[in-house]
Structure 1
């Protein structure tokens, strides 16, 4: 699956992510976060560095995903946090 800006949203084969233990501070710099709403199907990139300053770099991806709210429809339930890998030159 590809983001409209060309970011690969599929799980990379060379990096296994355990969302229960992965934190904002432990993600490699090549990864970006994208929020996905199941109700209106909206996807939006998230500034992970600002999120780390607000919530703390020790916040797990699961705890971040539970607090997501869709900016399109206001949905709180079932929102997902997707990991994207930026292309390497």
Structure 2
């Protein structure tokens, strides 16, 4: 369901029974491990995370790595950060 380099690849799943009795499978929220950072970047007004991820990590789909490095669960949570920690691209 997820690509091998996705933050959700090894997160696991569980089942939830909804009020109407139907059962759905839910992906667990992955544990994040900030790891080593290589510096900080001052985010410009309206600057998108995928652009920053490409600039520093050479992969626009790695915006989740920016979230992990900054202790943010989602890109929306990282939007409030003016300074963004940049993770080691080799992680």
Tell me the TM-score normalised to structure 2 length.
0.24
Greater Cα radius of gyration, structure 1 or 2: 2
Greater share of strand residues, 1 or 2? 2
Name the structure, 1 or 2, with higher relative contact order (CA <8 Å, separation 6+): 1
Tell me the TM-score normalised to structure 1 length.
0.24
Greater share of helix residues, 1 or 2? 2
